[in-house]
Amino acid sequence: MTGPSVFPGGSGLFRLGTTVAHLNHGSFGVVPIPVAQAWRRLQDEASADPDAFFLGVPDRVAEARTRIAHHLGTAPDGAAFVANATEAAHLALDAVRLAPDDEVLVTDHGYGTVVAAAARRARVVTVALDPTLPDEEALRAAVLAGVTPRTRVAVLDQVSSPTARFIATPRLLADLRDRGVTTIVDGAHAPGALAEPLAGEPDFWFGNLHKWGYAPPGSALLVVAPQFRERVPAPVPSWEHDRGFPRAVEYRATVDYTGWLAAPEGLALLAELGASRVRRHNSALAAHGAHLLARIPGMTPLPYDERLPMRSMRLPPGMARTAPEAVALREEIARRGFRVLTWPWAGGGGMRVSGQIYNEPQEYERLAGVVARVLDGR
């Protein structure tokens, strides 16, 4: 682990506004200028000759998918572009064909829209995971304790959003498979952030390219085990509907495909900057932020993983216990110049900070001062 530093040229690669410091890359990502330029060129090309552009789209989408699949270390014909993690969760759950009395196991670290996708289709059983459990082994045991004879599917975070913990490890996935449970892994944070983005061999894995992969928003990949591929429904059956997975899933009539076509440029930029250097930098910044915030009375850092560019902590007791309280706190911190994630969860609130190459150590120093004053005033 290196100490926090400024990434040379990092902030110049983005067009972020200057009224707030963006310490929340993990929520939506930010498109770097070279990727935005490639994206813009594709839009110009589509405007210049729409017929040529749209007739060529399915093959170009397949080429872009192939580049991304290589980066992720998976087979291009076993993966499909989708709009985002939420859409991927719906498609995966439809492919499993759940009966209403099947149980879907989730955890209370799961992302709201993904858990809601499961709840629309089956009975959700939520395993409460103490966020202070020390390691992946303890989390694995807690998840397995929630498996019942009716558990058909487990939907698990590879890296959880509020708590930044690794949950769906290869070992846990193998244990679930041994118990006959179909596994769906929410890898929303994995592409770009992790050197090994695919978690073992789940039945379904999806990851956003627009978070840590520097891709335009609306770019994600859904990776599907062979036995489920032809069961993944096309979100909008169109001219490629009889081409099977993945083309039938990807081609959705006349929509804007330029974000997907530009997505490989994000991963190419990451490689050019030095992916492991970027990851070390981002992790060191997040660690710096967490260290400073942890000095505020009542703040409790959660166990963390050095591979991650995000760190989470519990807020002092009584702070941000409900969604409106968490939003109010987040907005107050934003008014004072900083974007961070706050969340209400299991009787208490939390805060997450991210690190990215446009961030600088002193932003976290100023954030810690502001958070200390805001919490003191409540």
Ligand X SMILES: Cc1ncc(COP(=O)(O)O)c(C=O)c1O
Name the site residues for ligand X (rule: CB under 6 A): 27, 84-86, 111, 113-114, 157, 161, 186, 188-189, 208
- Looking at the Cβ atoms of 25 and 314, the one nearer to ligand X is 25
Q: How far is the CB of 326 from ligand X (least distance, A)?
A: 15
Q: Which is nearer to ligand X, 38 or 85 (CB)?
A: 85
Cα gap 199→183, rounded to integer Å: 11
Picking from 300, 307, 254, the residue whose alpha carbon sits closest to that of residue 276 is 307
Q: How far is the CB of 336 from ligand X (least distance, A)?
A: 23
Q: Which residue, 86 or 356, is less far from ligand X as judged by CB?
A: 86
Of 186 and 363, which has the nearer Cβ to ligand X? 186
Q: How far is the CB of 208 from ligand X (least distance, A)?
A: 5
Shortest distance, position 226 Cβ to ligand X, whole Å: 25
Q: Which is nearer to ligand X, 152 or 189 (CB)?
A: 189
Q: What b-and-e string marks burial along 348-371, b requiring 16 or more CB atoms within 10 Å of the CB?
A: bbbbbbbbbbbbbbebbeebbebb
Q: Which is nearer to ligand X, 221 or 285 (CB)?
A: 221
Burial label, 156 (beta-carbon count in 10 A; 0-12, 13-18, 19+): buried
Q: Which helix (H) or strand (E) holds 329?
A: helix 323-335
CA distance between the termini of the chain: 35
Number of CB atoms found within 10 A of residue 89's CB: 26
CB of 372 to ligand X, least distance (A): 27
Residue from 272, 304, 374, 296 nearest 332 by CA: 374
Distance, CA of 312 to CA of 295 (rounded, Å): 14
- Answer positive or negative: Cα dihedral of 300, 303, 308, 314: negative
- Residue 180: left (phi > 0), alpha (psi -120 to 50), or beta? left
CB of 107 to ligand X, least distance (A): 11
What's the closest the beta carbon of residue 263 comes to ligand X, in angstroms? 13
Q: Residue 120 or residue 373: which is nearer to ligand X going by CB?
A: 120
In this structure, are strands 103-107 and 123-127 parallel, antiparallel, or unpaired?
Answer: parallel
